[in-house]
Structure 1
Amino acid sequence: MDNLLNKTTITRLIDTADLNITNCTIIDDNCNDNLIENIVAITVTIFFGSIGILGLAGNSLVVIVVALNPGMRSTTNILIINLAVADLLFVIFCIPFTATDFVLNYWPFGNVWCKIVQYIIIVTACASVYTLVLMSLDRFLAVVHPIASMTVRTENHAFLATCIAWLVILILSIPVIIVHGEVPHHLQEDKRVCRILPEVNWPLFQITFFLFSFLIPLTLISVLYICMLVRLWRSSRGSAESRRGRRRVTRLVLVVVGVFAVCWCPLQVILVAKSIGYYPDNPMNIMLQITSHVLAYMNSCVNPILYAFLSDNFRKAFRKIIYCKPRYDPKALGPSTKTTRAASSGDLL
């Protein structure tokens, strides 16, 4: 591999919405290019590989746990499965291709696969954040309108809501296929890179992505949680056990949302600043970009860890799967959601 990092760019980290950062100077002419290339390759392999393995194993375990335990099939847990599936697809289609592109410094997979991968990355990223919106809405109904929402907060309605969300996102993300594609590598004439096409208005595209994939959904979540937490901590409705259940589930969803915001905020801000020309190219900024990139990807593997720490039922179910315990025992994971609405308000996490 030629020495490409001398007075050149990393063309992959985050390209607008599809997470490819372009035109970023890494080192001065006097630096050892081969050493830097080796460090980059090793760092990417270790971090991306670890995130990929943890994300694949953890999210698969979440899906298996809920699928094998009928007593855990509540509205919140159906949404948790949807979030795990979105994270799984993100890990499968984003991490390997971005890591390969990052190490090679060019896109070896062709124009069609460039468009498909970028499309899937955007779809899964949006599916994750809007699943969090649905989870927050579910919590809002359970806490603020526990009785009136009994006929609305059902497993079938939760499944229908996730299907509609996926359909809308799949349709609205179609422009991503159009605006992305292979373009010539600016240093190697025989190589191509996968990025947003030159004729596309990058600032407009990036700001639109920021608004609809981050700022707007998190604003909706914040409003729902403000209303819900005020009611939750002031209300004496229901038994002490049901109130504790609502608070426990609400806390879990709030932590998941908070971790998502923390993981993605640095990257989203950097992308917007980069697209409008307010992010100078220097070694410190490049390190911040790399760190924010890794932090965003980590969000796809951290949720199963949160469930294990914050949910007794998930923790018990995880142990059953890992240690190959006998078939599901309904008494071990609590009563079925079909037997009590108090349980439904707590959602048996």
Structure 2
Amino acid sequence: ILGVGFGANLLVFSLFAKHNSVRKNRLDALLLSMALADFFSLLLIPFTLHSAVSFSWPLGDMSCKIYQFLLAFTLAASTYSLCAVSMARVMIITNPYHPPTTDLVVLMLVMAWALSFFISLPLRIFATKESLGTGLTNFTFCLPTIQEHHYQVILSQFVLYYFIPMLVIAANYVRLAIFLHKSPIMSTVSTRNTRRASLMVFLAAGTFSVCWLPGYILELCLYLGLYKHGQSWEMFYFTCTVLQYLHPCVNPVLYVLLSKRYRSNRGVWIFHCARNRVHPQVTSMTESF
């Protein structure tokens, strides 16, 4: 996961830098915001891995609080940037002659990161380093909160990090589907590009749901006492963990590396090794998706 995630996000950064596309395309600023949040979350995986393998948190209590806050903050920043991307895409497709202004995109960026900060801070204020039990002082873990507040924090994360973002993404997809259904007949190329853009919004909602919903279902099973130690439950726990860490790897591939603007670029030759083809010049507001 670390190798794929770092490679994909670094490739996204190199493509944006090479094409200077952040200045040319306002949507790329939101995609860059999401890639940065994903990249920062991947930087925290080694601490998680060390703690899981050694059954101990190697640093102090304050470092634990900072680590847990950064985990929540980067997740929120990635999620809210994803919501901003879906909103911007719908704006561009439904009103191509009046795309989002630079000021609006900057406002979206500031809101996404500021909201992530102010939501994550109270959720991790009680993060603590705790021992597993008496006589096992070497078995310490960095927990997101004290035991008394565990499920209040989990419920808050479900609502703020999953349920509300899913509503936003779903609402954008429904809005886009209604627009496509009611829109007049367009050219074949425009129709294909617009439908491809709507498919990307649908895939965004699908991958986000698949990666994060199982983890919250697992937490609910733990709360209700349904979780039992056994091979099936352990595999479910492992699968949930892997899916959550895979999301930062899926985002750059789904949103940038599969984009028509970069598919023929030499920087992504690993994804497209087919011979070059000649395409007619087509002007469309949605072909970049």
Structure 1 length normalisation: TM-score? 0.72
Cα distance in 1, alignment partners of residues 225 and 126 from structure 2? 20
1:207, 1:272 within 8 Å by CA — same for their partners in 2? no
In the alignment, structure 1 residue 122 sits paired with structure 2 residue 78: no
Cα distance in 2, alignment partners of residues 221 and 307 from structure 1? 14
Match for residue 98 of structure 1 among 48, 52, 72: 48
Q: 2:275 matched to which residue of 1? A: none
1:110, 1:182 within 8 Å by CA — same for their partners in 2? yes
2:124, 2:144 within 8 Å by CA — same for their partners in 1? no
Deviation for aligned residue 1:103: 0.3
Please state whether the residue corresponding to 2:184 is helix, strand or coil: coil
Paired residues for 1:211-226 under 5 Å = 211-226=159-174
Please state whether the residue corresponding to 1:106 is helix, strand or coil: coil
Structure 2 length normalisation: TM-score? 0.85
Cα distance in 2, alignment partners of residues 138 and 81 from structure 1? 14
Paired residues for 1:190-229 under 5 Å = 190-198=138-146, 200-229=148-177
Cα distance in 2, alignment partners of residues 81 and 175 from structure 1? 26
Match for residue 111 of structure 2 among 148, 161, 164: 164
In the alignment, structure 1 residue 134 sits paired with structure 2 residue 84: yes
Please state whether the residue corresponding to 1:182 is helix, strand or coil: strand
AA paired with 2:65?
K
Aligned length: 278
Please state whether the residue corresponding to 1:236 is helix, strand or coil: coil
2:51, 2:57 within 8 Å by CA — same for their partners in 1? yes
Would the alpha carbon gap of residues 272 and 53 (structure 1) be closer, same or farther in structure 2, given more than 3 Å must change? same
Q: 1:88 matched to which residue of 2? A: 39
Please state whether the residue corresponding to 1:210 is helix, strand or coil: helix
AA paired with 2:42?
V
Cα distance in 1, alignment partners of residues 4 and 46 from structure 2? 13
Max radius of gyration: which structure? 1
In the alignment, structure 1 residue 291 sits paired with structure 2 residue 239: yes
2:80, 2:116 within 8 Å by CA — same for their partners in 1? no
1:62, 1:84 within 8 Å by CA — same for their partners in 2? yes
Cα distance in 1, alignment partners of residues 221 and 38 from structure 2? 26
Deviation for aligned residue 1:238: 5.7
1:78, 1:155 within 8 Å by CA — same for their partners in 2? no
In the alignment, structure 1 residue 269 sits paired with structure 2 residue 209: no
Match for residue 120 of structure 2 among 150, 163, 173: 173
Paired residues for 1:19-34 under 5 Å = none
AA paired with 2:119?
L
Structure 2: segments with no counterpart, 5+ residues: 271-278
Cα distance in 1, alignment partners of residues 32 and 239 from structure 2? 28
2:262, 2:268 within 8 Å by CA — same for their partners in 1? no
Q: 1:348 matched to which residue of 2? A: 288
Deviation for aligned residue 1:184: 1.9
Cα distance in 1, alignment partners of residues 120 and 31 from structure 2? 23
Would the alpha carbon gap of residues 63 and 156 (structure 1) be closer, same or farther in structure 2, given more than 3 Å must change? farther
In the alignment, structure 1 residue 301 sits paired with structure 2 residue 255: no
Please state whether the residue corresponding to 1:183 is helix, strand or coil: strand
Deviation for aligned residue 1:272: 3.0
Deviation for aligned residue 1:126: 1.3
Identity %: 27
In the alignment, structure 1 residue 68 sits paired with structure 2 residue 15: no
Would the alpha carbon gap of residues 86 and 231 (structure 1) be closer, same or farther in structure 2, given more than 3 Å must change? same
In the alignment, structure 1 residue 184 sits paired with structure 2 residue 131: yes
Q: 2:276 matched to which residue of 1? A: none
Deviation for aligned residue 1:144: 3.0
Deviation for aligned residue 1:264: 1.4
Would the alpha carbon gap of residues 347 and 82 (structure 1) be closer, same or farther in structure 2, given more than 3 Å must change? farther
Which moved further from structure 2: 209-218 or 251-260?
Answer: 251-260
